[in-house]
Amino acid sequence: MKLTSAGRILAPDPMKSHTEYLTFHTKKRRDLVHLTPTLEPILARSGIAEGFMLVSAMHITAGVFVNDNESGLHADIWEWLERLAPSGPDYKHHRTGEDNGDAHLKSILVHHEVIVPITKGRMDLGPWQQVFYAEFDGQRDKRMVIKIIGE
């Protein structure tokens, strides 16, 4: 509760929201982009100290996840995704002229969004947690929405 110098009650801070969009155009068809360094200035611009940051791909052939920024692990992740949701010619989705059936399945597997808690004006992540954009069908413009709500 804030008071003026005359003791009158000031209105509390209302909920705030802040929205930005990012565009990625990866050179490789499949690629990981480390997002954390891009998210921190967005949070700073929001002025929000306590709340949630949604980091969400706006395409159905991309994912967002939180894990370690370690190149060996990233190679393991790609091998694993290819084993569980392999690329190949045999998808019924390809009757539409597309050739990216595996990218849709990889997006469902990894998920297309995460929520990052915001505490005391910072992304409240553990010491090894980093946010990644996973491109499963790139070489073209792909959009992402970052939306923060809080106070």
Interacting residues with a copy of itself (CB under 8 A):
1, 9-15, 17, 19, 50-52, 54, 56-60, 65-68, 70, 72-73, 75-77, 80, 84-85, 91-96, 101, 104-105, 107-115, 117, 119, 124-126, 128-129, 143, 145, 147, 149-151
CB of 128 to a copy of itself, least distance (A): 5
CB of 54 to a copy of itself, least distance (A): 6
Which strand ranges, in their side-by-side order, compose the sheet holding 130-135?
Answer: 31-34, 130-135, 62-67
Q: Which is nearer to a copy of itself, 40 or 68 (CB)?
A: 68
Long-range contacts of 2-11 (CB under 8 A, 24+ apart): none
CB of 24 to a copy of itself, least distance (A): 13
Q: Which is nearer to a copy of itself, 44 or 75 (CB)?
A: 75
Directed axis angle between helix 101-110 and helix 71-84, to 10°? Answer: 120
CB of 99 to a copy of itself, least distance (A): 12
Q: Which residues on neighbouring strands pair with residue 17, listed in sequence order?
A: 149
Q: Which is nearer to a copy of itself, 38 or 67 (CB)?
A: 67
Q: Which is nearer to a copy of itself, 7 or 126 (CB)?
A: 126
Place of tokens 């700073």: 44
DSSP string, 41-84: HHHHHHT-SSEEEEEEESSTTEEEEEE---HHHHHHHHHHHHHH
Rg (CA), the chain: 19
